[in-house]
Every structure is written in C-alpha cells, then in structure tokens.
A and B are shown apart, each in its own frame.
Chain A
Amino acid sequence: GAGVSQSPRYKVAKRGQDVALRCDPISGHVSLFWYQQALGQGPEFLTYFQNEAQLDKSGLPSDRFFAERPEGSVSTLKIQRTQQEDSAVYLCASSLLRGYEQYFGPGTRLTVT
C-alpha cells in the first residue's frame, strides 16, 4: 500500500512568510507525529495526534508553530512568520497505534532566506 506522503518536498520561504506543510499518513493509522530534523542531527519531536486530537505539543519550539488534523487523517504543520532558525527538514510519521513502529514520510526541506 501507499506510504506516508508529504508535500511540498522542498519549500523556500523568505523570512517573515507563513508556510504550510502537509502530511498524508498511511490509511488507517491512528497516530501521527511531526519531527524537525536539523542538518546533521537526529529528528526531534514536535507534536503528536491520536486521530484528530492533539495529545502532545510539548516539542513545538514557539507559538509560531501550529499543527492540526481536523478529520483524523491529513495533517498540516503551519509555521507563521518564518525565521532562519526554522530551516530544517520536517518529517511526518504515522503508526497504527501509539507505541508501534512509526513509518516516516520523505520529509519537507524548508529553507528560510
């Protein structure tokens, strides 16, 4: 079956612009995670959804970051007023249930100029 997909794959934004990153999880997967991966580093947790409920947003670095999953499937990560330090790869992962192995999408590489 289809894996996790993310769009766009690459995004260049000027400092101060708003961006929206989309994640389509594997069909039927209840859990959805967002991670941020800086160059040469391991991914870092941002937020977690179980169906449409955002149960953990402890990793969001500032109130400029907002995520939603209104119908329990597709999720959008929005970054307002982008800053240079937001440049990173944003990875989305889904799993059948919490605690099971997570399947990752290809990521969105965000570059803020």
Chain B
Amino acid sequence: AQKITQTQPGMFVQEKEAVTLDCTYDTSDPSYGLFWYKQPSSGEMIFLIYQGSYDQQNATEGRYSLNFQKARKSANLVISASQLGDSAMYFCAMREGRAGGTSYGKLTFGQGTILTVHP
C-alpha cells in the first residue's frame, strides 16, 4: 500500500493567489514526521516545512503552511501569494519510527505534484 499519496499530478495557480497541494499518508506508528520538499528543474530538493505527529499547532514557514488533519491522515501544503519562482515539483514525505530504531530517519516520498504558476 502507498504510504504517501499525492493525488494531483499537476496544479496550476495564478500569481499572487494561494494554492493547496494535497498529501495523505498511511502509518500505524503513533510517532512520525511529515515533510514537504520543493524540487525545481535544477533537481535539488529544498526543504520547506516539517510537522511532527504530536505537534498541536499547524506548522508555518513564511508563505508555507501545513494543514495537518491527523484523524484524516492528511498533511496538505498551502502556499500563499504564489510567485513565479514557486513553479516546481513538490514532494510530501514521511519519517516513521521511534528515535533509536535502525530505520528511524529515512523518508518515504510521494509521487509529487508539479505546480505551475501563471503570471
């Protein structure tokens, strides 16, 4: 079964508008972390935002916020005031396991969503 599902292969948004990129996850572990990364055409993965499973508040980093709905197992990324430079592939990823376990730390990624920002 897919552990991370990103159902939107591509999304379009007008410059200065907000956009939501969907991510659902599947885990039975009570302790996990959710990450969003941006991958421009240059190929480098850029860390955007992190949400821990026990965090009470939704994470925010500048124009990025994470809409964390634990019961629905969703962790959608919201980008406010889109800019042309936001056009890229976006990946949702999950870290499972407890600190100290041999598998702790590795990330499982979704298939990604290509975001295109129109002027």
Please name the residue on chain A nearest to B50 by beta carbon: A101
Most buried by A among B33, B103, B106: B106
**Are A42's CB and B112's CB within 8 A?**
yes
Cβ of A91 within 8 Å of any chain B Cβ, yes or no, is yes
How many residue pairs between the two chains, A and B, have CB atoms under 8 Å in the bound complex? 61
Interface assignment of A107: CB less than 8 Å from any CB of chain B: yes
Q: Which of B13-21, B40-48, B69-77, B79-87 contacts A (4 or more CB under 8 A)?
A: B40-48
Are B44 and A98 in contact, with the CB atoms below 8 A? no
In contact, A56 and B45 (Cβ under 8 angstroms): no
- The number of residues on chain B lying at the interface, defined by a beta carbon within 8 Å of a beta carbon of chain A, is 26
Q: Is B60 an interface residue (CB 8 A)?
A: no
Which residues 16-65 of B have a CB within 8 angstroms of A? 33, 35, 37, 42-47, 50
Q: Which of chain B's residues 96-119 have a Cβ closer than 8 Å to chain A?
A: 99, 102-112
Query: Chain A nearest CB: distance from B16 CB in Å?
Result: 28
When the two chains form their complex, are residues B104 and A98 in contact, meaning their CB atoms are under 8 A apart?
Answer: yes
Chain A residues with a Cβ closer than 8 Å to the other chain, count: 27
- How many whole Å from A93's CB to the nearest CB in chain B? 7
The docked-state distance in angstroms from the alpha carbon of A89 to that of B33 is 25
- Residues in chain A near residue B104, CB distance under 8 A: 98-99
- In the assembled complex, the Cα of A53 lies from the Cα of B91 at a distance in Å of 28
Least CB separation from A107: chain B residue: B43
B119 vs chain A, min Cβ distance (A): 26
A41 touches B108 (CB 8 A): no
B3 to chain A, nearest CB (A): 11
Nearest A residue to B42, CB-CB: A106
Q: C-beta contact mask, A51-65 vs B, less than 8 Å → 1, else 0?
A: 000011011000000
Q: Which residue of A lies closest to B48 (CB)?
A: A101
Q: Which residues of A sit under 8 angstroms from B111, Cβ to Cβ? A: 41-42
Within 8 A of B (CB), among A27-54: 31, 33, 35, 41-45, 48
- Please tell me if the beta carbons of B105 and A89 are within 8 angstroms of each other in the complex: no
The contact sample of 16 A-B pairs, CB cut-off 8 A, is A43-B107, A44-B109, A48-B105, A56-B102, A56-B106, A89-B43, A91-B45, A98-B104, A98-B105, A99-B104, A99-B105, A104-B47, A105-B44, A106-B42, A106-B43, A107-B43
